[in-house]
């Protein structure tokens, strides 16, 4: 089959890397891709915000099946475009993508279908939001979320009333996140470890494909500002067979049934962000795609060909109850450029990628890189993900950091504690 992968990050590099090794996969085209992906697939320039042009590309390239990495084209209706032209695509429609693109939609949906989540209200105006905050009904700290897509930055945990009022003003008056802040979700602050849980869905059924834990803050020991993710490990030692069954029963199954019942059957990867509270697992967020860097550590563990599973799901025929998952442990460390997450630097030559890749059990995935005068240089905030695999977390961590030590570029920053949380749970 001819496969089109949409996206340009390390997540898409991991997807292409997986698919490139599979028997049923013919040529892979990646739009727009990056220099790492270009070694495995033909990359073509493309805009992620132009679903019609991406559909035209699929037609021109005679693509059999398209797999979408990031949320933007999904929320803009790429699945609807492809469906209207009778083209196979694995990913949710714009309506189903609201589980991620509108926090107000996701919260109201969870309330309608009794999916466990934090208590909340949705406010349509500044006055309503200030009224809620002044009532103190959610206690302190309180969590404020801009409704729309805000690149993972639309959440504020306000310690007290003054901080909450300032956050409301930033979102609703100063419009820090633009139209994403027209509505605000205010919710109770939960506590407990956070885990990410991934399923493949066909509109009716879903099968788990693994779990992971992300490291969102820029500095070691979870300090400093939030980022898109500085590293991840898989599987999460907190997600055992019993918890998997509980999350499928209490979260995934009612979500699948609810979306189908409301006329928006969910097809695609579903990323369930959970907090394991004293009252059981509760949904912090849904994403309608794989995570980045989570994909880089969960996809290599899928122990059977991925394409047939994605095609079955895209055609509504996922008639199986499980996907085989390997027993290894994976740890992925993100290398970011100077200034990240506030800004990023570009054009710094990167050395050592091949040396890192030459270490057994190490893989390097490109994100913000570019090819310039025959060299690979930095071209974004998150530059590379270096993944180590091993029989246990200690080995996976050692390999990931052995890979990291080979690589250098001016201004390179990374966390040195990725995976250490997993060691605590390891027997």
The residues that touch ligand AMP, with contacts defined as CB under 6 A, are 118, 143, 152, 155, 157, 187, 189-190, 194, 216, 273, 284-285
| Residues 6+ positions from 405 with CB-CB distance below 8 Å | none
Q: Buried b / exposed e across 20-48, counting CB within 10 Å, b at 16+?
A: beeeebeebbbbebbbbbeebbebeebeb
Q: Buried b / exposed e across 157-170, counting CB within 10 Å, b at 16+?
A: ebeeeebbbebbeb
Residue 283 or 379: the one with the smaller Cβ distance to ligand AMP is 283
296-315 binders of ligand GLY (CB under 6 A): none
The count of C-alpha atoms lying within 13 angstroms of the C-alpha of 184, restricted to the half-sphere facing its C-beta, is 31
- Stretch of 52-60, 254-262, 288-296, 352-360 lying at the interface with ligand GLY (CB under 6 A): 288-296
127-166 binders of ligand GLY (CB under 6 A): 152
Residue 17 or 229: the one with the smaller Cβ distance to ligand GLY is 229
Residue 25 or 295: the one with the smaller Cβ distance to ligand GLY is 295
Among 69, 203, 291, 403, binds ligand GLY (CB under 6 A): 291
Phi (first) and psi of residue 192, to 5 degrees = 145, 170
348-407 binders of ligand GLY (CB under 6 A): none
Per residue, the 3-state secondary structure of 328-349, as one string, reads CEEEEEEEECCCCCCCCCEEEE
Binds 285: which of ligand GLY, ligand AMP, none (CB < 5-8 Å by kind): ligand AMP
Residue 286 or 401: the one with the smaller Cβ distance to ligand AMP is 286
Cβ(115)–Cβ(156) below 8 Å: no
Enumerate the β-bridge partners of residue 177. Answer: none
Q: How many residues does the chain have?
A: 427
Residue 117 or 227: the one with the smaller Cβ distance to ligand GLY is 227
Size of the site for ligand GLY (CB under 6 A): 8
Enumerate the β-bridge partners of residue 291. Answer: none
Sketch the per residue contact string, 214 through 253, with ligand GLY: x for CB under 6 A, - otherwise.
x-------------xx------------------------
Binds 118: which of ligand AMP, ligand GLY, none (CB < 5-8 Å by kind): ligand AMP
Q: Which residues make up the interface to ligand GLY (CB under 6 A)? A: 152, 214, 228-229, 287, 291-292, 294
């Amino acid at each position: 089959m001819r496969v089109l992968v949409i996206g340009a990050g390390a997540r898409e590099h991991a997807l292409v890397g997986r698919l490139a090794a599979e028997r049923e996969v013919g040529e892979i085209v990646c739009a727009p891709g990056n220099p790492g992906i270009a070694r495995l697939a033909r990359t073509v320039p493309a805009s992620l915000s132009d679903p019609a042009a991406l559909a035209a590309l699929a037609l021109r390239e005679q693509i059999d099946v398209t797999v979408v990495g990031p949320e933007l084209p999904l929320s803009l209706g790429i699945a609807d475009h492809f469906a209207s032209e009778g083209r196979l695509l694995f990913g949710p429609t714009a309506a189903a993508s609201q589980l991620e693109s509108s926090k107000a939609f996701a919260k109201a949906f969870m309330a309608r279908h009794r999916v466990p989540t934090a208590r909340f209200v949705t406010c349509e105006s500044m006055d309503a939001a200030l009224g809620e905050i002044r009532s103190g009904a959610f206690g302190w700290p309180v969590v404020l979320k801009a409704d729309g897509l805000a690149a993972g930055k639309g959440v504020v945990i306000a310690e007290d009333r003054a901080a909450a009022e300032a956050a409301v003003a930033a979102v609703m008056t100063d419009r820090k996140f633009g139209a994403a802040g027209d509505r605000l979700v205010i919710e109770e602050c939960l506590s407990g470890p956070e885990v990410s849980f991934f399923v493949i869905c066909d509109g009716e059924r879903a099968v788990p494909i693994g779990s992971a834990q992300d490291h969102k803050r820029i500095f070691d020991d979870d300090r400093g500002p939030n980022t898109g993710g500085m590293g991840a490990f898989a599987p999460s030692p907190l997600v055992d067979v019993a918890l998997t069954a509980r999350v499928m029963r209490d979260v995934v199954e009612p979500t699948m049934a609810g979306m189908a019942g409301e006329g928006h059957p969910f097809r695609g990867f579903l990323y369930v962000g959970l907090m394991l509270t004293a009252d059981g697992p509760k949904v912090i967020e849904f994403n309608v795609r794989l995570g980045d860097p989570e994909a880089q550590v969960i996809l290599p563990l899928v122990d059977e060909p991925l394409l047939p599973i994605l095609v079955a799901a895209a055609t509504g025929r996922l008639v199986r109850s499980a996907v085989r998952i390997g027993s290894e442990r994976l740890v992925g460390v993100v290398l970011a450029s100077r200034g990240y997450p506030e800004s990023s630097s570009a054009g710094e030559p990167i050395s050592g990628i091949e040396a890192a890749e030459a270490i057994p059990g190490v893989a390097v995935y490109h994100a913000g890189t570019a090819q310039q005068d025959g060299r690979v240089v930095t071209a974004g905030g998150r530059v590379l993900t270096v993944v180590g695999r091993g029989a246990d977390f200690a080995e996976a961590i050692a390999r990931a950091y052995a890979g990291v030590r080979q690589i250098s570029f001016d201004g390179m920053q990374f966390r040195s504690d990725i995976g250490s949380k997993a060691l605590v749970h390891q027997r």
